[in-house]
């Protein structure tokens, strides 16, 4: 069939009439692969949901989902796990973003833990994340009976993530078993689940931090203002700089105050997110700055550093 | 330079970057982690804080590279890499995704996973130890998964005094081995990952080596262009956001989709034209390989996920029967009796392994007969899918030529397959085993004078003429002292074919199984009378290839066009008039066995 005379004619005609196209640029290729993942999940699962964290990776994730289903709307809701310690700017941005893009946004909170005053200082960051993030996430997934949850994690972020699959399976307790992952070959994703099992899907697995910024720049994706540099008064706590403005536990921030131009490289909860000195006030300047930066973006996240294998442990238990 | 100038320069370079996927395999002792650590470090893809965490001293090279790349706690405890890890680094020209896998035999499945998408493989050889089984294994997998470029890095040259002879010996031996494989582009580079020789910059310790440093090669090897000829657009997702829009979304695997272009939808075979190519960033005139698009068509056809859009003059093969090289990845061995799920492009179907032709010893490339495939074993198999799939060979198209098998009970991915051209059908059917040194089953039963033969009656199941014909033939054969076995469709459908439905595919499968069953009997010298309800062309397609035209006679009581073939006996005149079968046609059927009897 492949080498019939007709076929040969077709080859000749093609080469005569079509100018040979260029291979896709790496960013277009990453985009196409992510779109493929979105569609595959929408086709194979009953109730997908997109875990929306308000951060830059989430914003890219939403744009890719819009592209995947255009001209239709995103055929699944967004779920935000609200620990109550998110910055005010983040919540305001979230609500406006959902409104403007006509997104179906669900917010999940661990209300019981919040009522008993859960916070990282009282519980330690591990237990605090466990209650306010992991528990609230698992509850949110359970309440919606979601079988597939998209997340914005990338493999270049942290060592234990380098080995995570794009389709990452969780048992009925939401736990990850790194030794029992399904092989992923070509673009053939095994989407079979048993009842009560769920899956986390990471369409940005192969993107690097630079790819994300480059894409945000090209696509003009809106971001929370916290990513951009401005003068903030900060206190150094354990090597991490915390802005004192709106810090929920001011009594915990002691030491010398200094005021400097700085920004957040990644956004989490205010008690655990530090800033880096920077003068980059827009996406273009951030990219320019990044061509020199040699510190990983999670370096200012307190939760990764507490113990050897901290992130892997959290993930095993169901943390994103 | 101002920030905007810097950025303009940076983005201009970034825009042109190609994405290149590398796979590598090796154990800790090969210095693989050291090599990767150095590539990442020297291409400035490592972050300072990640680096500080693995610093072991104050020197510029005092790092525990393995600690940097061995991500999981279990691995650090055991000191081995147990899975596929993905690393990212870039040069001003290219972005690299490196799939880093362990090299031991028990991790063959991980190597295969890493190799499945790679454009280029890096094989590490320890200069002191020379070629080891795992080097050959990696080369074999590279060839099996059709990675077009292979870079052999002969490492630890510093420990053999940068000896040219040592390097040349390895090149000669390994080239000889690789000649038996199918590797397009094979290159060798002497390096020391630890000292940095020929990794990122050319070393002055080996002036005899005229090639480039490893990173230079990674950066400049031409990665083959995409296939722009064979249009293959697997329909991944049907988009129907409202009553007026009906689009088919997917990533184009190869070829070019053009607005207005004529296309054919498989398996239906219906043709239409492309009305539009939609994307979020605007409608396109044409789409090229790997692009994610949504197309609309001029005609409303019934198209669903798993269908394949092709050019009318250049289609995929469509079949339920495929042959493939398959890598077993499941903890429990292949069970040929068991039903698995096969996922191929966007289609999932039930499948059974109908034949295991051989397995390959990946250390010496020898073929061995086998009853099963264990974890990490590789073999050539024939598979029968319950629904036909639309495929090319893996050699022609990595997307439409690959599949995975899923265990329907555990849901685990248990195998990866690469489709290859089939052997002719006749040689694939049931093989009967001789019971003596040279004796056929027929000889063993004392039926040597019986030529294998079967009679096929194609007629509705309860047609009285067919019943009569069965009775008359049975009597005639009994009189001739020929042992006879009767097989009819009703019997088949209550047992052997109980799960089959009534569609055209089910009928084809029923005929195939009937033919294979008949063959087993025939080979013992027993003559078989088989009554099935099917049109004659189906018999030609599914029965004759198994039994051979010389060994059957067929009669059809359906009114249908008469296809060519010596083995058909056509009812004539009053042969079956008024529901009565004449003696004349029975004679003609029996005569049919004569010429073939004594060759």
Q: Residue B277's domain is classified under what CATH number?
A: 2.40.30.10
Provide the token pair at B372: 């099963």
Q: How many residues does chain A have?
A: 320
Please, are residues A318 and A131 in contact by the beta-carbon 8 Å criterion? no
Other C-beta atoms lying within 10 Å of the C-beta of residue A95: 13
Q: Is residue B435 part of a domain?
A: no
Could you tell me if B317 lies within 8 Å of chain A, comparing CB atoms?
yes
In sequence order, which residues have a C-beta less than 8 Å from that of residue B19 and are 6 or more positions away? A24, A25, A26, A29, A30, B94, B95, B97
Q: How confident is the model at residue A37 (pLDDT cuts 50, 70, 90)?
A: very high
Could you tell me if A178 lies within 8 Å of chain B, comparing CB atoms?
yes
Q: How far away is chain A from the Cα of B304, in angstroms, using its nearest Cα?
A: 11
What integer is the mean pLDDT of A245-265?
Answer: 80
What residues does CATH 3.40.50.620 cover in chain A?
A: 26-211
Could you tell me if A66 lies within 8 Å of chain B, comparing CB atoms?
yes
In sequence order, which residues have a C-beta less than 8 Å from that of residue B475 and are 6 or more positions away? none
Residue after which a domain boundary falls, among B293, B310, B327: B310
Whether the predicted pLDDT of A204 surpasses 80: yes
Domain check: are B477 and B404 in the same one? no
Q: Which residues 239-268 of chain B have a CB within 8 Å of chain A? A: 239-242, 245, 247, 249-251, 256
For A10-30, what is each residue's pLDDT tens digit?
A: 444 444 444 556 778 899 999
Q: Which residue did the predictor score with more confidence, B343 or A3?
A: B343
Could you tell me if B346 lies within 8 Å of chain A, comparing CB atoms?
yes
Q: Is residue B431 part of a domain?
A: no
Question: How far apart are alpha carbons B480 and B475 in whole angstroms?
Answer: 9
Domain check: are B529 and B549 in the same one? yes
Domain check: are B209 and B134 in the same one? yes
User: What percent of chain A is modeled with pLDDT above 90?
Assistant: 35
Question: How far apart are alpha carbons B369 and B359 in whole angstroms?
Answer: 6
* Inter-chain touch A28–B288, beta carbons under 8 Å: no
- Lowest-confidence segment of A124-133, A275-284, B15-24, B240-249 by average pLDDT: A124-133
Q: Please give the residue of chain A at the shortest CA–CA distance from B82.
A: A179
Could you tell me if B16 lies within 8 Å of chain A, comparing CB atoms?
yes
Closest CB to B236: pick one of A43, A206, A217: A43
For A142-165, what is each residue's pLDDT tens digit?
A: 898 999 999 998 988 876 677 778
- Structure confidence at residue B570 (pLDDT): 66
Positive or negative, the CA dihedral B33, B36, B39, B43 is negative
Could you tell me if B311 lies within 8 Å of chain A, comparing CB atoms?
yes
What is the CATH architecture assignment of A26-211?
3-Layer(aba) Sandwich (3.40)
Q: With beta carbons under 8 A apart, name residues in chain A contacting B68.
A: 159
Question: How far apart are alpha carbons A156 and B46 in whole angstroms?
Answer: 10
Segments of chain B scoring below 70 in pLDDT: 1-4, 6, 26-29, 44-82, 103, 105-106, 225, 423-451, 560-567, 570-581, 592-599
Whether the predicted pLDDT of A320 surpasses 60: no
The tally of domains found in chain B comes to: 4
Domain check: are B103 and B135 in the same one? yes
Q: How far away is chain B from the Cα of A195, in angstroms, using its nearest Cα?
A: 12
* Inter-chain touch B280–A178, beta carbons under 8 Å: no
Residue after which a domain boundary falls, among B424, B456, B475: B424
Q: Which residue did the predictor score with more confidence, A4 or B51?
A: B51
Q: Which residue did the predictor score with more confidence, A177 or B46?
A: A177
* Inter-chain touch B73–A23, beta carbons under 8 Å: no
Q: How confident is the model at residue A295 (pLDDT cuts 50, 70, 90)?
A: low
Task: Give B394: exposed, middle or buried? Use CB within 10 Å, 0-12, 13-18, 19+.
Answer: buried
Q: Please give the residue of chain B at the shortest CA–CA distance from A65.
A: B280
- Structure confidence at residue B454 (pLDDT): 83
Structural domain that includes position B479: 441-597
In sequence order, which residues have a C-beta less than 8 Å from that of residue B93 and are 6 or more positions away? B16, B17, B18, B219, B220
Q: Is residue B27 part of a domain?
A: yes
Domain check: are B112 and B200 in the same one? yes
Domain check: are B591 and B445 in the same one? yes
Task: Report which listed range, A122-131, A309-318, B327-336, B529-538, is most confident.
Answer: B327-336
Task: Give A219: exposed, middle or buried? Use CB within 10 Å, 0-12, 13-18, 19+.
Answer: middle
Domain check: are B156 and B13 in the same one? yes
Q: How far away is chain A from the Cα of B30, in angstroms, using its nearest Cα?
A: 21
């Amino acid at each position: 069939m492949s080498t019939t005379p007709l076929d040969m004619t077709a080859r000749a005609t093609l080469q005569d009439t079509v100018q040979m196209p260029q291979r896709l640029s790496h960013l277009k290729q990453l985009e196409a692969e992510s779109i493929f993942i979105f569609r595959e999940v929408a086709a194979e699962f009953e109730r997908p949901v997109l875990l929306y964290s308000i951060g830059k990776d989430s914003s890219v994730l939403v744009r890719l989902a819009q592209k995947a289903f255009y001209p239709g709307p995103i055929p699944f809701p967004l779920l935000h796990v609200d620990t109550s310690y998110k910055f005010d700017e983040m919540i305001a941005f979230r609500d406006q973003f959902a409104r403007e893009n006509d997104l179906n946004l669900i917010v999940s909170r661990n209300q019981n833990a919040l009522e008993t005053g859960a916070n990282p200082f009282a519980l330690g960051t591990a237990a605090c994340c466990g209650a306010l993030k992991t528990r609230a996430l698992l509850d949110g997934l359970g309440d919606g009976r979601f079988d597939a949850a998209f997340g914005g994690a990338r493999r270049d972020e942290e060592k234990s993530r380098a080995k995570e699959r794009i389709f990452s399976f969780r048992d009925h307790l939401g736990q990850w078993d790194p030794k029992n992952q399904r092989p992923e070959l070509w673009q053939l994703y095994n989407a079979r689940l048993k009842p009560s099992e769920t899956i986390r899907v990471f369409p940005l697995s192969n993107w690097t931090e630079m790819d994300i910024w480059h894409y945000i720049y090209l696509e003009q994706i809106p971001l929370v203002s916290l990513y951009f540099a401005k003068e903030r008064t900060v206190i150094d706590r354990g090597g991490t700089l915390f802005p004192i403005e709106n810090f929920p536990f001011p009594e915990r921030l002691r030491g010398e105050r200094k005021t400097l131009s700085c920004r957040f490289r990644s956004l989490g909860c205010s008690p655990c997110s530090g800033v880096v000195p920077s003068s980059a006030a827009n996406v273009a300047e951030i990219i320019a700055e990044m061509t020199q930066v040699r510190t990983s973006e999670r370096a200012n996240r307190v939760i990764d550093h507490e113990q050897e294998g901290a992130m892997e442990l959290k993930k095993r238990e169901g943390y994103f | 330079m101002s920030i905007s100038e810097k950025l303009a320069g940076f983005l201009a370079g970034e825009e042109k970057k190609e994405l290149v996927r590398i796979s590598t395999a090796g154990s800790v002792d090969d210095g693989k982690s050291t090599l990767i650590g150095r590539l990442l470090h020297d291409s400035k893809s490592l972050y300072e804080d990640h680096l500080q965490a693995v610093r072991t001293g104050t020197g510029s090279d005092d790092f525990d590279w393995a600690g940097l790349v061995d991500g999981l706690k279990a691995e650090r405890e055991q000191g081995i890499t147990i899975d596929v890890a993905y690393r990212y680094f870039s040069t001003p020209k290219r972005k690299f995704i490196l799939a880093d896998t362990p090299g031991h035999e028990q991790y063959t499945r991980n190597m295969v996973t890493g190799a499945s998408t790679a454009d280029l493989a890096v094989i590490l050889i320890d200069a002191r130890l020379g070629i080891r089984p795992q080097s050959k294994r990696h080369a074999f997998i590279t060839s099996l998964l059709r990675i077009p470029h292979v870079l052999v890095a002969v490492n630890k040259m510093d420990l053999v005094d940068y000896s040219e002879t040592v390097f040349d010996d390895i090149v000669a031996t390994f080239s000889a081995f690789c000649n038996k494989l199918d590797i397009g582009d094979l290159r060798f580079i002497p390096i020391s990952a630890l000292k940095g020789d020929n990794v990122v910059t050319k070393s002055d310790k080996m002036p005899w080596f005229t090639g480039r440093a490893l990173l230079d090669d990674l950066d400049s090897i031409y990665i083959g262009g995409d296939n722009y000829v064979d249009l293959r657009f697997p329909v991944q997702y049907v988009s129907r956001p409202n009553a007026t829009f009906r689009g088919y979304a997917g990533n184009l695997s190869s070829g070019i989709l053009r607005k207005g272009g004529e296309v054919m939808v498989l398996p239906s075979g219906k043709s239409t034209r492309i009305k539009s190519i939609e994307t979020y960033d605007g409608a396109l005139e044409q789409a090229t390989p790997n692009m994610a698009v949504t197309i609309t068509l001029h005609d409303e056809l019934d198209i669903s996920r798993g269908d394949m859009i092709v050019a009318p003059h250049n289609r995929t093969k469509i079949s339920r029967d495929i042959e493939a090289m398959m890598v077993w990845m499941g903890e429990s061995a292949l069970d040929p009796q068991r039903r698995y799920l096969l996922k191929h492009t966007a289609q999932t179907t039930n499948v059974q392994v109908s034949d295991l032709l051989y397995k390959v010893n990946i250390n010496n490339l020898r073929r061995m007969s086998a009853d099963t495939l264990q974890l990490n074993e590789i073999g050539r198999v024939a598979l029968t899918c319950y629904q036909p799939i639309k495929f090319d060979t893996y050699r022609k198209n990595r997307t439409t030529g690959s599949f995975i098998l899923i265990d329907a009970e555990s849901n685990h991915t248990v195998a990866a397959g690469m489709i290859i051209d089939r052997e002719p059908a006749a040689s694939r059917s049931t093989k009967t085993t001789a019971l003596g040194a040279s004796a056929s089953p027929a000889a063993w039963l004392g039926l040597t004078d019986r030529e294998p033969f079967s009679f096929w009656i194609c007629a509705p199941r309860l047609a009285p003429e067919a019943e009569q014909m069965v009775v008359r033939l049975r009597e005639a054969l009994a009189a001739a002292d020929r042992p006879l076995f009767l097989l009819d469709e009703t019997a088949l459908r209550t047992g052997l074919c109980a799960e089959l439905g009534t569609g055209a595919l089910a009928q084809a499968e029923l005929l195939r199984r009937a033919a294979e069953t008949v063959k087993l009997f025939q080979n013992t010298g027993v003559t078989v009378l088989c009554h099935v309800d099917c049109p004659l062309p189906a018999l030609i397609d599914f029965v004759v290839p198994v039994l051979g035209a010389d060994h059957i006679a067929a009669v059809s009581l359906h009114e249908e066009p008469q296809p060519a073939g010596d083995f058909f006996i056509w009812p004539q005149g009053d042969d079956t008039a008024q529901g009565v079968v004449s003696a004349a046609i029975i004679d003609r059927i029996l005569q049919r066995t004569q010429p073939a009897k004594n060759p």
